[in-house]
Structures are given as structure tokens and as C-alpha cells.
Amino acid sequence: MHRPLGSAAMLYADDLFAEVDSPLGGDATSLIEMILSFNEFGSSTAFTVEDGIPYYVNEFWTSGQRKGHSVHEISYRACFKSQLPEFFIRRLTGLGDSVLDPFMGRGTTPVEAHLLGRTPVGNDINPLSVLLTRPRLNVPTYQEVQLALDAVEWDRPVAVREDLLAFYHRTTLQGLAALREHLLEVAPLDMTTPDRAVDWIRMVAINRLTGHSAGFFSVYSLPPNQAVTVERQLRINEKRNQVPPFRDIRSIILKKTRSLLRSGTPRVERNASLSVGPASKLEMVPNASVALTITSPPFLDVVQYADDNWLRCWFAGIDSASVPISMHRTEAAWEEMVRKVLIEQARVVRPGGHIAFEVGEVRNGRVLLEKAVWRAAEGLPFERLCVMINQQEFTKTANCWGVGNNAKGTNTNRIVLLRRLRD
């Protein structure tokens, strides 16, 4: 039974899945026909061939902001919107099918798979990704979050990092240090099934560490997906003539919790599989078990993930310097990495299953990474179907960077679509 949908975001309750389209399964012809005939947003699909690669260009999902479930609103650098995995999950999988992202980042693919009644499988080289994803697969009640916050000894005597006073009022920093120590004690990183309210609080706190409004713990800084250095924050403070104000940590966490759950509380997911490790070695994923992979790896050396997440890693107790995030300066090196990842995908994706490999735009479109993915898949047991380009009507880079629409940043999603051959 489906609940009627209004103009607001879809509501997901404990016994309710999102409405599910009939999956196209492994029928490549039907899939291409669907792409060609797609006109949900009023535009026809354009078709062209370049260097032997078929391209299909259209607006395949809305460019509107905040159209997905509110639980997705966790900030992370270079992440795609939930509408991208939703498009493919609805059309290429059925209820209960396993959906994988070996570079899960903030967890958009596994969380959307969960919301749509599929089995989420996720992996990332950075353990921070598990801390951002796991709590949204087993969401606590608001009351549980309140009680877990009440259990924190906010005034406990703990050492504080004096350099972080560039970001925080001393009382706020004292509270953050107390919360950090509490979380590391009751939910250490090696605990695979922590209390769900504690896990949730850590996720929310990680995403409120720095930002540019009173909804964050810090004084005005860059957007929450990119922590600047202490030295740069001191320069920002001097330029803006600002002093870190006191922030009520507990109130901010509760306010963000209400916001994340405004679309409804997702059901509990008991079959999710999340791991930490290289995308080319997914030891926890059985052979031929995945119906669909939706992923987007780091684009060359464009985004400095370790630098961006240094403060988040500190709060979580992760040594960011020890996380071996792949950064490739040349297209050839990046293509070699993709080849290794696709070899592992050939093992885990079931015959007739699909891979949607998103690469966005790099260096103002001068580097077309979809062609590197296409080459990397050659000779592997995949049918190379096409490249889909979701043409945006705006630049995904935020306005706070002073970037005008369609001027800089990423304006399109470029997805290489592969189908696993049947043995």
C-alpha cells in the first residue's frame, strides 16, 4: 500500500517503501529505448557518437535542490545528489537487490538504496565514510537522541587543542572536546554496532563542526564540506573582524536532527554491509551478488579529501594522514586505477547487472574521464552501453564560492553505463 504523495518530499515510514518502478533488468535494448524516449522534464534526449562512444544527453533527474529525502542532507566534497542513484535504482533493480558503491563518500548510494527497499552495500578507503553512512541506515528516534545527549558529561575535565580556538569559543571547544571523548569511549571506531543514538550524534556533530551560519559550532568559515587550516581561519577572522561566538552544541545537534528527519524516519536496515578498504579489493562482497553498482571515484587530484576532512577526522579519532586516499595526477594513472576497480566489479556484479560509473566534469571539461572509463572496461566481461550526460541548468558549485551558473565547477553528470555479460 502506498501513501499518497504531495509536493513535499516523500515520507518513508517503518513499513513503507518508496513507489518502485518495474525494473528493466538485464535487457540492454529496453534500457537504451528508455533513455532515448525519456522526456520527463520536457526535453528530448539528444544522441551523438564521439570516438566510437554513444552519448545520450538530457535532464534525466531534476536540478532542483532538496528534492530527495531530507536524511541525505549531510555535507561532503564532490558528492552527487540522491536523484542520480534513484534514477538507476528504480529502473535497474527490484526490492531486496543489492546496490553497491565502492567509493561511497557520504553514503548517498547506500542510503538511497535503503530508502527504496534495496540492500545497501558500501565501501570507502576512509573510515569517516562509515561514520557518515551507518547512522542513516539505523535512525534513532528524536527522543533517543535527547536521552543520549543527556548522558554526556559536558563539563568533564578534558584537554583542549588551543589552536582550535581559531574556530570556536572556548566554552564551545570545551564542550566539543567533552563530547569527542565521550563518543570515543562509548562508541570506539572498531565497534561495528554502536548504540544508534550515539552513532547518530557523532554523525551530526561531524557535520556541524564548521560552517558559515549560526547552525554550526564554529565562527563563520567555509562551507561544512571543507575545513580550512587554522592559519587560514585566523586570516578569515582578521579580515571579517570576527571572534568565535558561543554555540549551544546540544541545541544545534537536536535542530539538525529535526531537519534531517523532516521527510520522515526511514525504516531500520538490518542487512546493510559497509566496509573500509580499497575499491579494488571488496573482500566482504560475495561473487555475483550485486545487481547494480553506482559510484564516483576521486577525479584525479582535483579534490584534496584529506585536507578537507582533517577536522572531521580529528573529532572522530581518525588519523587522516594514515588514510591512503588515491590521488592521481595523470589521466593514465587514473585509468589504471579504474581498470583495477572494474576487474573487481566483474567479480561482484551478477550477470545481467549494471554499473553506473559517474565522472562529472574535470578542469572545465578539458579532461573527459568517461573516455578513460570506457577504455578501462575494454576486454572485461562488460557490455559498454553508453555514456549518459545529465545536463544541469546550473553549476553545482555553491554560490558562496562566487561562481556564476554554468561558469565553473561541475555542470553535468557524465555516467558510463556498463552491463555485466552473462557467463
Per-residue pLDDT of the chain (423 residues; tens, 9 = 90+): 223 223 333 334 333 344 455 566 556 678 899 999 999 888 899 999 999 999 999 999 876 655 789 999 998 876 788 999 999 999 999 999 999 999 999 999 999 999 999 999 999 999 999 999 999 999 999 999 999 999 999 999 999 999 999 999 999 999 999 999 999 999 999 999 999 999 999 999 999 999 999 999 999 998 777 789 999 999 999 999 999 999 999 999 999 999 999 999 898 888 899 999 999 999 999 999 999 999 999 876 555 556 788 999 999 999 877 776 666 778 899 999 999 999 999 999 999 999 999 997 766 667 789 999 999 999 999 999 999 999 866 544 444 334 344 444 446 789 999 999 987
DSSP string, 109-122: HHHHHHHTT-EEEE
DSSP category for residue 169:
-
- Looking at 3.40.50.150, 3.40.50.300, 2.30.30.830, 3.40.1350.10, the CATH number of the domain 28-124+274-303+325-420 comes to 3.40.50.150
Q: Report CA torsion sign: 338, 342, 343, 345.
A: positive
Residues 6+ apart with CB under 8 A from 219: 167, 168, 169, 233, 237, 242, 243, 244, 245
Could you list the beta-strand ranges (E) of 222-302.
Answer: 273-276, 290-295
Paired with 275 in beta bridges are: 123
At residue 232, the 3 state secondary structure works out as helix
107-143 pLDDT, tens per residue? Answer: 999 999 999 999 999 999 999 999 999 999 999 999 9
Q: Kindly list the distances between the CA atom of residue 371 and the CA atoms of 59, 85, 255, 387, 402, in Å, as whole numbers in the listed order.
A: 21, 21, 44, 9, 30
DSSP states of 340-399 as a string?
Answer: HHHHHHHHHEEEEEEEEEE---BTTTTB-HHHHHHHHTTTSSEEEEEEEEEE-SS-SS-G
pLDDT tens digit sequence for 328-382: 778 899 999 999 999 999 999 999 999 999 997 766 667 789 999 999 999 999 9
φ/ψ of 211, rounded to 5, equals 180, -165
Q: Which residues pair with 391 in a beta bridge?
A: 412
DSSP string, 331-347: HHHHHHHHHHHHHHHHH
User: Three-state SS for 401?
Assistant: helix
Whether this model's pTM surpasses 0.85: yes
Q: Which element (helix H / strand E) includes 415?
A: strand 412-420
- Domain ranges for the chain, please list them: 28-124+274-303+325-420, 142-260
Sheet strands side by side (includes 382-391):
46-50, 53-58, 382-391, 412-420, 349-358, 290-295, 98-101, 119-124, 273-276
